[in-house]
Structure 1
């Protein structure tokens, strides 16, 4: 009896853990569905003005925002390996000096790569003087897979990724905690056909069914093993 009890407890443990993990993935999916509903609501809400007052990322992410100020073109960073319609290119990220004080990073849009000279940046224009921009508040200017940190080293014009906090330390600019993903066509040569934000809720539902499938398989195996053991015991006693 002792030897039968241990496998039963192990199978029970597997069932309990996998069922619980399935519920956890379901709860994560529900949370992401709620976030997607909020994102849709934010897209249709009036743009919030950005000022020098610091705003926590959690209070503004995915909201439509507007800002007035001037671009600081000499501190631009080009994010490499950002394809658009299967064409390689860059994201143009530039600090924006807010009227009234403060700074915020702006992902201005996409530029195609010069396939003859990979280090050459295609021409685009930066509006001079004070302008008003609109966009979506995002946590970063987009992130690409990166091996090591060589492509994101400070003071490089072309980088793989850009950490807003590290960039604030590098430049000494008091940046907001978010990045404005600029929207609208202002004739500056940049593409702003941004992909819709995704939360990956389908992945969570997929994992949920996988965990519950494992629980069902473990339970089925346990019942099968118990039935087979019972038959053997019955056969020996016959």
Structure 2
């Protein structure tokens, strides 16, 4: 292949790559900006929520946000769950989740906090849940189904049960009780030894903005390269005409 043919092939490859990659890079940057906005709204809803004495009637109204509530009711003291693989500051642990039935008759899953896991995975932490009528406060979110490496075995009779993710439908079926697809994270401690320092979001808005800047920077660099290529092609065309 001659130098002219090689240069022409490179220019074609550059333009084809630019046509494909430029919109993709811009789209990724815009997506990161959108994620940053969503995370900021989530943080704002956690910090600024005004407590209500009723569980949200419409789950869609709080999807992607938190709603503060104050509830009166009782815990199921015999049956609770340990959410596995909850990492904080590089340390693996469990989140303790119990069933709470409010005076209104509605039931919700209450996250009582985080506990460090033992190096021996055969050792399961056990707790004594509060007895009798309780007044609890916290922030409620809609339980979103996520990815799990394996299906949770809820048929086993042993309690507490170690699970990978919250699934209100499966838990309702196992406990033979109607449970709202809501998780309440406590703001005041109820059980000794549990950490309530909640990670509201897994990635802060600032980090999403940083990623957005990187995608836009790459898009800008590619655009500059395309402009340079276009100017060079034009210069060569004028030179050939002369």
Aligned to 2:150: 148
Judged with a 3 Å threshold, the aligned counterparts in structure 2 of structure 1 residues 215 and 168 are, in CA distance, closer, same or farther, namely same
Q: Which moved more, 1:89-98 or 1:12-21?
A: 12-21
| 1:19 Cα deviation after fit | 3.9
The runs of 5 or more residues in structure 2 that have no matched partner are 1-8
Q: Which among 50, 53, 56 is matched to residue 54 of structure 2?
A: 50
TM-score, normalization: structure 1? 0.75
What aligned pairs does 1:1-238 form with structure 2 within 5 A after superposition?
A: 11=18, 15=22, 18-19=25-26, 22-42=29-49, 45=50, 47-50=51-54, 54-56=57-59, 58-59=61-62, 61-84=65-88, 86-116=90-120, 118-140=121-143, 146-149=148-151, 152-156=152-156, 157-186=161-190, 188-198=191-201, 200-238=204-242
| 1:106 Cα deviation after fit | 0.8
1:57-80: CA deviation from partner (whole Å, max 9, x where unpaired): 533842221211111123311122
Contact 1:107/1:141 (<8 A) preserved? no
SS of aligned partner of 1:208: helix
Contact 1:123/1:189 (<8 A) preserved? no
Q: Matched residues in 1 for 2:72 and 2:128: separation?
A: 18
The runs of 5 or more residues in structure 1 that have no matched partner are none
Contact 2:145/2:167 (<8 A) preserved? no
| 1:105 Cα deviation after fit | 0.7
Q: CA RMSD in A?
A: 3.5
Judged with a 3 Å threshold, the aligned counterparts in structure 2 of structure 1 residues 70 and 141 are, in CA distance, closer, same or farther, namely farther
TM-score, normalization: structure 2? 0.74
Q: Matched residues in 1 for 2:198 and 2:239: separation?
A: 65
